[in-house]
Amino acid sequence: MKVYKSIIVFFFLSSLYGFSQNSEIGFLGGTSYYLGELNPSIQIANKIRPVIGVFYRKNTSKRYALRIGANYGKLAATDEFSSTELSQFRQLSFSTDIWEAYGVLEFNFIPYQINNYSTSSFTPYVFIGAAVFRVSPSIENNGVAITSSQGSVIAPSMPFGLGIKFNFARNLGLAIEWGMRKTFTDQIDGLSETYIGGYQLSNTQNNDWYSIVGITLNYKILTKGDVCPVVVN
Q: For the segment 205-217, what is each residue's pLDDT rounded down to a tens digit?
A: 689 999 999 999 9
Q: Domain ranges in the chain?
A: 2-227
* Confidence (pLDDT) at 36: 87
**Does the pLDDT of residue 20 top 50, yes or no?**
no
User: What is the average per-residue pLDDT within 37-60?
Assistant: 87
* Confidence (pLDDT) at 1: 52
Closest Cα to residue 98, out of 176, 33, 186, 182?
Answer: 33
Q: For the segment 87-127, what is each residue's pLDDT rounded down to a tens digit?
A: 666 778 899 999 999 999 999 999 999 988 889 999 999 99
In the chain, what percentage of residues exceed pLDDT 90?
54
Which pLDDT band holds residue 31 (cuts at 50, 70, 90)? Answer: very high
* Confidence (pLDDT) at 136: 93
Measured between alpha carbons, how far is 6 from 14 in angstroms, rounded to an integer? Answer: 12
Structure pTM?
A: 0.82
Residues near 102 by beta carbon (within 8 Å), at least 6 away in sequence: 8, 68, 69, 70, 71, 129, 130, 131, 132, 159
* Confidence (pLDDT) at 61: 92
Measured between alpha carbons, how far is 118 from 215 in angstroms, rounded to an integer? Answer: 25
Measured between alpha carbons, how far is 130 from 5 in angstroms, rounded to an integer? Answer: 8
Beta strands in the chain (DSSP E): 23-35, 49-59, 64-78, 92-108, 122-135, 138-141, 144-146, 153-169, 172-183, 209-220
* Confidence (pLDDT) at 21: 59
* Confidence (pLDDT) at 166: 94
- HSE, side-chain direction, 13 A CA sphere, residue 191: 30
- Fold classified for 2-227: Porin (2.40.160)
Measured between alpha carbons, how far is 100 from 159 in angstroms, rounded to an integer? Answer: 11
Return the amino acid letter for 59.
N
By three-state DSSP, how is residue 87 classified? helix
By three-state DSSP, how is residue 129 classified? strand
Q: For the segment 131-177, what is each residue's pLDDT rounded down to a tens digit?
A: 999 999 998 887 777 766 577 899 999 999 999 999 998 899 999 99
**Does the pLDDT of residue 24 top 70, yes or no?**
yes
User: What is the average per-residue pLDDT within 41-69?
Assistant: 90
Torsion of CA 139, 144, 147, 150, to 10 degrees: -10
Q: For the segment 183-227, what is each residue's pLDDT rounded down to a tens digit?
A: 999 889 888 766 555 566 666 668 999 999 999 999 998 766 555
Measured between alpha carbons, how far is 75 from 134 in angstroms, rounded to an integer? Answer: 11
Helix (H) or strand (E) holding 9: helix 2-16
User: What is the average per-residue pLDDT within 21-31?
Assistant: 92
- The answer to whether 194 and 204 are in contact (CB under 8 A) is no
* Confidence (pLDDT) at 206: 81
User: What is the average per-residue pLDDT within 40-69?
Assistant: 90
* Confidence (pLDDT) at 198: 59
**Does the pLDDT of residue 83 top 90, yes or no?**
no
